[in-house]
Structure 1
Amino acid sequence: MTVSKLKTFGVAAIAAVALAGVAQAQPKSLTLGTASVGGTYFIYGGVVATLVTEKTGINVSTQQTQGPNQNLLLVDSKAIELGMVTMGVALHGYNGTGWAKGKKYNNVRALFPMYDTPFHFITTDKTGITSVKQMDGKNVGVGPKAGTPGTYFPLMFEALGIKPTIRNGGASDMASQLGDGLLDVFAFAAGVPISAYSELEAQRPVKFITFTDEELKILQEKIPELSPSVIPKNTYKTLTEDHKTVGLYNFAIAHKDLDDDTAYKIVKAVLDNNDAMVKGHSAAKETLAKNAEKNSFLPFHPGAVKYYKEKGIALNPKTMM
């Protein structure tokens, strides 16, 4: 074989290997980080995993975690490929502020919007608590320490000058402790309705508590990433009026090294099949392409950008790299 033919053969071989690599880029399986049992992430994540598996042929399994903070860490380090976060937690993680304590987690990319996470409280009739102010000195469960409520409720109480005794644990565990009288209040934040809350009100008389207008004003001044949110009446059987509160939007995330085609297929599978998502959990009614605008800082994965361009969705320039 001549030198020129050897060179030609070599180039062809390299090209063949490269093409083979592209063909094998789609992973056979992926892991999606969710949160504790009893919260919306756990249920919603299962719906996403089932739908993406069905539509893409990639086996997506869920991993129970402590919530958004841990999901961000796990995705950033490639311990898992996919996760779910509230944008407040993501903001601190991406910038290295707040809970991130100076370390920037910049390997994560946004995929699709999930739903708003409103902060709210539930207590039993026996406690006699009817306001946030009355929680001062009381035992308040806020879910896992690394979750959104576990991160933000301590900050919110501090901003309001209230000093409850904070307890951490899974959502189902917090609900059980409230029912048993070990907690005075169960404070949580997740897509509504929260299953642990619904189970509680099915078992005993409960009260839902929200912030006063003055408290909401203080919270938004001191924690600006919080946005106005409303829990509609009848979300829970005993919620007889709309609850004004604050919330944080949720997004699904992936590691930046996830191949573009796979990221595109995941986003398409979820956003093109909203009816199936809503059947799994009503919070998914907000899982719509137009809500991609709720992300104002976290870079979108190129595969996700491709999908939004196809749908004519304008993204914030700060989220496109």
Structure 2
Amino acid sequence: MKFGSITAAAMLAAITALPAGAETRVTYKSAKTASSYYQMGVQIAEAMQEATGGEISVTVEESQGSVQNVMEVRARGADYVFTTPPALVGLAQGGKAMFEGKGDPAFDEIRALFPIPSLTMHFVMSAESGVTSFADMAGKTILLGKGSFGASEGEKYLGLFGIADKVEIADVELSNAVPALKNGQIDGFVTAGSWPAPNVVEAAASSDVTVLSLSDEEIAQTKRTKLVIPAGTYAGQDADITTTSLPVAAYTTTKMDDETAYQLTKTYWESQERLGKSAAWWKGVDAGLMENITGKIHPGAQRYYEEAGIALSDAQK
């Protein structure tokens, strides 16, 4: 994931508001500017600024993807914070998949700080389609989008559940999913993002939709993390939605000093109430997400978790 650059004017305003020489500067890199994860980065930067009285100054930087975020560890310094799924850190450290032949000792120095909202799969169907399960998708037109995690993951699920050859894939951009659903051009669309997802909120508010739930057996087939979206999250949603997610976390490296890592982590968790007022997706963040961080946690962050009484696994220490 990645976070884009704040406008020059906004950056200048933020910097000039800080007391001279008082701030610790951090670069936070996560997502494209149009993504919810970029917006999260801006919200985290604002929360850090407010909670620390300007002692921590976070500049949000745009990225082209989680892989890029990890790769840049090789050239970045002690001020670098980035977001990525924990699984990608493991692949980088093992020199596997997209990191094959690109291994670097710097990858072994990656350390986690805190979890952020997970990438959550949504299978959104029009109520008129009558689809309430994956089997019901047969004969329907589905929009997957292109080049995104949601598109590739959605395509994988159609194959896993035996309906890939039974659906028609719409040649429509994901940005047009809601109007295409309303005018009957498609029967449903697949999207991934933090919940509540803005395009799902829009779809549910403008027409009757069904967001599919996955059974425990189906979730096991996907090999992803189970996630429950509470009833009432979307208009007309009377029951919990059980779906899958890809955990995401904020990372730095051992180059960052312990005190900065401690302050970043402490401020993040103590700002959750404030963050939750700015965007609903923060309401899905709690200590339970810590178990999704499969690698080591920065010693400075560990200090906060010990103080907060949040247990860490041996693998995280």
Tell me: CA distance 1:312–1:241, structure 2 relative to 1, closer, same or farther (3 Å): closer
Q: Which of 295, 298, 318 is 2:295 aligned to?
A: 298
The corresponding residue for 1:185 is 188
CA distance in 1, matches of 2:198, 2:88: 22
The corresponding residue for 1:280 is 278
Q: CA deviation at 1:198?
A: 0.6
Length, aligned pairs only: 287
The corresponding residue for 1:239 is 237
CA distance in 2, matches of 1:168, 1:90: 33
The corresponding residue for 1:315 is 312
The corresponding residue for 1:42 is 38
Q: CA RMSD in A?
A: 3.5
What is the identity, as a one-letter code, of the residue corresponding to 1:82?
Answer: V
Range that drifts further, 88-97 or 206-215: 88-97
TM-score (norm 2): 0.73
The corresponding residue for 1:109 is 111
Query: Alpha-carbon deviations, 1:264-302, whole Å to 9, x = none?
Result: 22111111222112112233234345643332x222122
Q: CA deviation at 1:230?
A: 1.5
For the Cα contact (< 8 Å) 1:177–1:183, is it kept in 2? yes
Q: Which of 263, 266, 273 is 1:265 aligned to?
A: 263
SS at match of 1:305: helix
What is the identity, as a one-letter code, of the residue corresponding to 1:267?
Answer: T
Q: CA deviation at 1:201?
A: 2.1
SS at match of 2:214: coil
Range that drifts further, 205-214 or 193-202: 205-214
Matching of residues 213-228 of structure 1 within 5 Å: 213-219=216-222, 223=223, 226-228=224-226
For the Cα contact (< 8 Å) 2:30–2:84, is it kept in 1? no
Tell me: CA distance 1:141–1:262, structure 2 relative to 1, closer, same or farther (3 Å): same
Tell me: CA distance 1:101–1:255, structure 2 relative to 1, closer, same or farther (3 Å): same
**Aligned: 1:72 with 2:70:** yes
CA distance in 2, matches of 1:258, 1:180: 52
CA distance in 2, matches of 1:62, 1:174: 29
SS at match of 1:230: strand
CA distance in 1, matches of 2:185, 2:215: 26
Tell me: CA distance 1:236–1:159, structure 2 relative to 1, closer, same or farther (3 Å): same
CA distance in 1, matches of 2:162, 2:87: 21
Q: CA deviation at 1:181?
A: 5.8
**Aligned: 1:85 with 2:88:** no
For the Cα contact (< 8 Å) 1:33–1:83, is it kept in 2? yes
The corresponding residue for 2:159 is 158
Tell me: CA distance 1:26–1:262, structure 2 relative to 1, closer, same or farther (3 Å): farther
Report the structure number with the largest CA radius of gyration: 1
CA distance in 1, matches of 2:259, 2:232: 41
SS at match of 2:218: helix
The corresponding residue for 1:122 is 124
**Aligned: 1:208 with 2:211:** yes
Gap runs ≥5 in structure 2: 1-20
Gap runs ≥5 in structure 1: 1-23
For the Cα contact (< 8 Å) 2:26–2:80, is it kept in 1? no
Q: CA deviation at 1:238?
A: 1.9
CA distance in 2, matches of 1:108, 1:167: 39
Query: Alpha-carbon deviations, 1:241-272, whole Å to 9, x = none?
Result: 22222223321122442333222221111112
In the TM superposition, structure 1's runs of 4+ consecutive aligned residues that sit over 6 Å from their partners are 166-169
CA distance in 2, matches of 1:238, 1:76: 47
What is the identity, as a one-letter code, of the residue corresponding to 2:161?
Answer: L
SS at match of 1:313: coil
TM-score (norm 1): 0.72
SS at match of 1:249: strand
